[in-house]
Structure 1
Amino acid sequence: MAFKTSSDSDEMAENHEINVTPLVDVMLVLLIIVMVASPLATVNVPVDLPSSSAAPQPQPNEPFYLTVQKDMSLTLGESDVVTLSALKPALDSALQGKDKRIYLRADKDLNYQDLMKVMNALVKAGYGQIALVGIELPAGSQ
């Protein structure tokens, strides 16, 4: 707090002005800390995803499967082969509604980018409930 002296009296009168300089200094130091720490918060680590040993989830009575082979051939259900461009009309006719979950089975040697193409096509077609299917490992094995 700043005080002002007057030549008329021996008492000091209070000055109600805020000294802004320390506030600006503290804010600049905090800004520098944030600028230095934010690049360190991003993670650029290559990932080798493990297989899942989670407890299996209950399956519905009649799950609808979409299978993606290594050569990007798509199979609806158990036998209907379809191309990626004809996926939306085939799903519309097979599901008769967009609230049904699609179980996506993909070959383990399928390129990750190709799997994302199929998932993007499903979302673009309006089917956002996608479940990935994998082989369930016994408990304790990795």
Structure 2
Amino acid sequence: MAFGSSDRYQGQTTMSEINVVPLVDVMLVLLIIFIITAPLLTHSVKIDLPKASSNPNTTQPEHIEFAIRDDGSYFWNGETITLEQLAPRFTQSAENDPKIELHIRADKLTHYEHVARIMSLAAKSGITKIGFITDPTQE
């Protein structure tokens, strides 16, 4: 009896092909795992987003149109007004109509300091809706 004989291996050659069966098994298991877990990862939160339109906003008649020139002069609905007269007029307008809007139209070269002062006075007086009027035709 020859335990260590190499007679039975003499006719065989080494196998040079890759066994792909275990690789295919692993890939199928991974595919099944991804198919099961993918719907669990795509949960979404439902929120109610605002609807936007490209139509211009229509202005309601209850608003104050306030203009500021670049030299610092102020106009309330077309009439000249001084800075000292603004606070009482803003307070009176806010008391008469709490939903009144302030529309600010300022020259292109007006310093922001003037605009910020008007916005601050209006907010302290109780006017909560402040908007800016722009001219889209000018560049």
| Moved >6 Å (runs of 4+) | none
Match of 2:104, SS state, is strand
Q: TM-score, normalised by structure 2?
A: 0.51
Q: Percent identity, aligned pairs only?
A: 20
> Of Structure 1 and Structure 2, which has the larger fraction of its residues in helix?
2
Unaligned runs of 5+ in 2: 1-53
Q: Give 2:111's aligned amino acid.
A: N
Aligned counterpart, 1:27: none
Aligned counterpart, 2:118: 118
Q: What is the number of residues matched between the two proteins?
A: 85
C-alpha displacement of 1:137: 3.4
Question: Using the alignment, how far apart are the partners of 2:98 and 2:83 within structure 1?
Answer: 18
Aligned counterpart, 1:38: none
Question: Using the alignment, how far apart are the partners of 1:55 and 1:111 within structure 2?
Answer: 30
Does residue 83 in structure 1 map to residue 82 in structure 2? yes
Match of 2:117, SS state, is helix
Q: How do residues 1-142 of structure 1 correspond to structure 2 at under 5 angstroms?
A: 55-61=55-61, 63-79=63-79, 81-93=80-92, 96-137=96-137
Structure whose CA Rg is larger: 2
C-alpha change, 1:98 and 1:85, in structure 2 (3 Å) is farther
Question: Using the alignment, how far apart are the partners of 1:127 and 1:110 within structure 2?
Answer: 22
Unaligned runs of 5+ in 1: 1-53
Question: Using the alignment, how far apart are the partners of 1:104 and 1:130 within structure 2?
Answer: 7
Question: Using the alignment, how far apart are the partners of 1:61 and 1:99 within structure 2?
Answer: 11
